[in-house]
């Protein structure tokens, strides 16, 4: 039996969702650009931006530099 393939990107979490919102809404990055910066799948960024994932996460005033 073959095992699972390793995950290629970190799981989306509230911290990453806040960073994604900041990158897209405040910095004007496109979703695929924000995904590349954060190292996640662009689909997860889309879900966050449409409110499908982490709708309770607020847009931060500033972005912490610990990407």
Q: Is residue 60 part of a domain?
A: no
Identify whether the C-beta of residue 52 lies closer than 8 Å to the C-beta of residue 41: no
Structural domain including 22 reads 14-49
Tell me the average pLDDT across 16-36. 96
Interhelix angle 31-38/14-21, nearest 10 degrees: 140
User: How many domains in the chain?
Assistant: 1
Whole-structure pTM value = 0.82
Q: Does 41 map to a domain? A: yes
Q: Across all residues in the chain, what is the average pLDDT?
A: 89
The per-residue pLDDT for 57 is 96
Torsion over CA: 28, 61, 52, 50 (sign) = negative
- Examine residue 4 and state whether it is found in any structural domain, yes or no: no
Tens-place pLDDT, residues 29-47: 999 999 999 999 999 999 9
| Res 6: pLDDT | 59
Looking at residue 36, what is its pLDDT?
Answer: 94
């Amino acid at each position: 039996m073959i095992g699972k393939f390793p995950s290629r990107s970190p799981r989306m979490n509230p911290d990453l969702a806040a960073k994604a919102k900041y990158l897209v809404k405040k910095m004007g990055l496109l979703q695929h650009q924000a995904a590349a910066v954060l190292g996640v799948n662009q689909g997860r960024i889309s879900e966050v931006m449409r409110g499908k994932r982490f709708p309770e996460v607020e847009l931060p005033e500033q972005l912490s530099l610990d990407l």
